Amino acid sequence: MAKNLKLKIIPLGGLDEIGKNMTAIEYGNEIIVVDCGMSFPDDEMPGVDLVINDISYLEKNASKLKGVFLTHGHEDHIGGLPYFLKSINTTVYGTRLTIALVENKLKEHNLLSSVKVVNVRAGSVVSAGQYFKVEFIRTNHSIADSVALAINTPQGVVLHMGDFKIDSTPIVGDMIDLARLGELGKQGVLALLSDSTNAERPGYAMSERSVGENFENLFKNCKKRIIVATFASNVHRVQQIINAAAANGRKVAVSGRSMENIVEISVMLGYMKVPQGVLINIDSIGKYNPEQLVIITTGSQGEPMSALTRMAFSDHRKVEITKNDLVIISATPIPGNEKSVSAVINELFKIGAEVVYKALADVHVSGHACAEELKLILALVKPKYFIPVHGEHRHLVFHKNLAEKIGMAEEDIFILSNGSILEFDENGARISGAVHSGKILVDGLGVGDVGNIVLRDRKLLAQDGLIIVVATIDSKTGQLVSGPDIISRGFVYVMESEDIIEHVREVARESLEKCNKSGNSDWLTVKATVKNNISKYIYETTNRSPMILPILMDV
């Protein structure tokens, strides 16, 4: 087989950020993609629903694509898939739970019948194209059925760890397949890509099981109704909540669409075991006393539309939180969500509910490996080259430092940026350039139609509001026929600021008349003059800079 061609690793997302993980691996005229995630918008993106990767490089090379391989079913790894598959049709490979979650998404986007998906069991190998053989290796993470991918290429093995931790007492399934990782290490691994999320945290991530013990303790002597918020995708966590409920004779109701979806899929596929009669419909919680109930809900991140947020702000149709509730928030806020989580917690305290969250008890553990685990993987795999992935820049640097601590040479570690091309041949590895990469914003049904200019306008509107000047002008004489009328939104409350609005109208009228007198009837100039004069007046009197929109009509 051609061994003289170059191997390229091209991260398209997930570096210097939390989210939208995606890596292209290219050899000769073939490409496979690992993961296809999304991320959530930040404060600089008002109105944006989600963010996906710019995949123009793959669109240009669509004929080379031999498949997308998924490490697990979290949104930051599969959330971009429907958008990807709308422009590039290729086969999607993943483990059973991952594929079930993907199918659920494809159904929502009407893609189910047009996309080929393949279930792969951890431990087996899939061929893609003539160059790639991809081995699925079991790992532990906060969602069941997570895998690492050992990608065999003619240049050597590229091992992508996906998201993982080392959990010797997992809730469902077996421990991460360290033995196989060790074997690969012995045979020789060319490049390791590994999860940097917790690289700055010393020690080991606690076992998921430790959370279960804490649930047991919290549930045991509780006489109140219990409401637990967690990530819907954390199947193990939900299982442990169900176990603790069942052990204490409580019924479990589920609230929030994604939570209902995941519980249904997981029970159906056997990833979750619910004892007979424990699950009840949320509509029938009225039939039970508070001490007989546990409600599992979405909203652990304080998301505005989520079930817990609605309950906290008395906006939920079926559940009202009272003093008689114990609310457990079994998650930590993802960076950026701290404020909304804190708002929900404060609201719950106002109601008088008892609230337990990470700062008060161990009701959450991370699904990502900490420093000691990361070092162990590096030591087992002994890669020739190491690429820290999945993290903000400092996480990548911390991970690099860990690799150096266990003896890797600095020049064999590559901190890449999204779009970088890391190229391998018989002479070694080097960054050889970059491909186009970036963010595509999704707002409603629009993909990519919100760009920098739209965002700038949205921010401006949010900061100082909008003033619209409407005037009708006789195009022959240039005379003002009607108006100018002033309409404003988000600037001042018009009813209480008639003076300002009247003055703005006066400034607009003067500007229009001046333009007419000076023979300046070109509409662009007229509009600019009106805009500048009003803008100047408003800034001088109010110190604000609303957006000003002159609309001229002619008769």
Catalytic residues: 195, 368
446-447, strands of its sheet edge to edge = 50-53, 439-443, 446-447
Place of tokens 């079926």: 318
Would you count residue 30 as binding Zn ion (CB under 5 A)?
no
How many residues in total does the chain contain?
555
Among residue numbers 266 through 325, which ones bind Zn ion (CB under 5 A)?
none
Select the span of 160-168, 398-406, 500-508, 509-517 touching Zn ion (CB under 5 A): 160-168
> Where do the H-state alpha helices sit in 301-446?
307-312, 338-351, 371-381, 393-405
**To the nearest whole angstrom, how small is the minimum distance from the Cβ of residue 271 to Zn ion?**
15
Q: Is 13 or 156 the residue whose CB approaches Zn ion more closely?
A: 13
What's the rounded Cα separation, in Å, for the pair 515 and 79? 54
Would you count residue 364 as binding Zn ion (CB under 5 A)?
no
Q: Is 111 or 334 the residue whose CB approaches Zn ion more closely?
A: 334
Helix (H, G, I), strand (E, B) or coil at 256: coil
Residues in the interface with Zn ion (CB under 5 A) total: 3
Q: Is 76 or 443 the residue whose CB approaches Zn ion more closely?
A: 76
Q: What are the C-alpha distances in Å from 262 to residues 93, 97, 233?
A: 20, 10, 7
Question: Which x/- pattern, by CB under 5 A, does the window 73-112 give for Zn ion?
Answer: -x-x------------------------------------
Q: Residue from 163, 347, 423, 443 that binds Zn ion (CB under 5 A)?
A: 163
Q: Is 76 or 373 the residue whose CB approaches Zn ion more closely?
A: 76
**To the nearest whole angstrom, how small is the minimum distance from the Cβ of residue 77 to Zn ion?**
6
**To the nearest whole angstrom, how small is the minimum distance from the Cβ of residue 131 to Zn ion?**
27
Give the distance, in angstroms, between the CA of residue 437 and the centroid of all CA atoms in the same chain: 17
Place of tokens 């549930």: 219
What's the rounded Cα separation, in Å, for the pair 206 and 65? 39
Q: Is 162 or 256 the residue whose CB approaches Zn ion more closely?
A: 162
**To the nearest whole angstrom, how small is the minimum distance from the Cβ of residue 19 to Zn ion?**
8
What's the rounded Cα separation, in Å, for the pair 123 and 451? 43
Give the distance, in angstroms, between the CA of residue 46 and the centroid of all CA atoms in the same chain: 16
The secondary structure element, H or E, covering residue 547 is strand 547-554
**Cβ neighbours of residue 396 closer than 8 Å, sequence gap 6 or more:** 15, 16, 196, 199, 388, 389, 415
Among residue numbers 60 through 79, which ones bind Zn ion (CB under 5 A)?
74, 76
**To the nearest whole angstrom, how small is the minimum distance from the Cβ of residue 141 to Zn ion?**
6
Residue 296's closest CA among 247, 240, 334? Answer: 240
Select the span of 96-104, 123-131, 163-171, 378-386 touching Zn ion (CB under 5 A): 163-171
Q: Is 146 or 214 the residue whose CB approaches Zn ion more closely?
A: 146
Select the span of 157-165, 186-194, 202-210, 400-408 touching Zn ion (CB under 5 A): 157-165
Place of tokens 């290796």: 137
Would you count residue 347 as binding Zn ion (CB under 5 A)?
no
**To the nearest whole angstrom, how small is the minimum distance from the Cβ of residue 79 to Zn ion?**
10
Footprint of Zn ion (CB under 5 A): 74, 76, 163
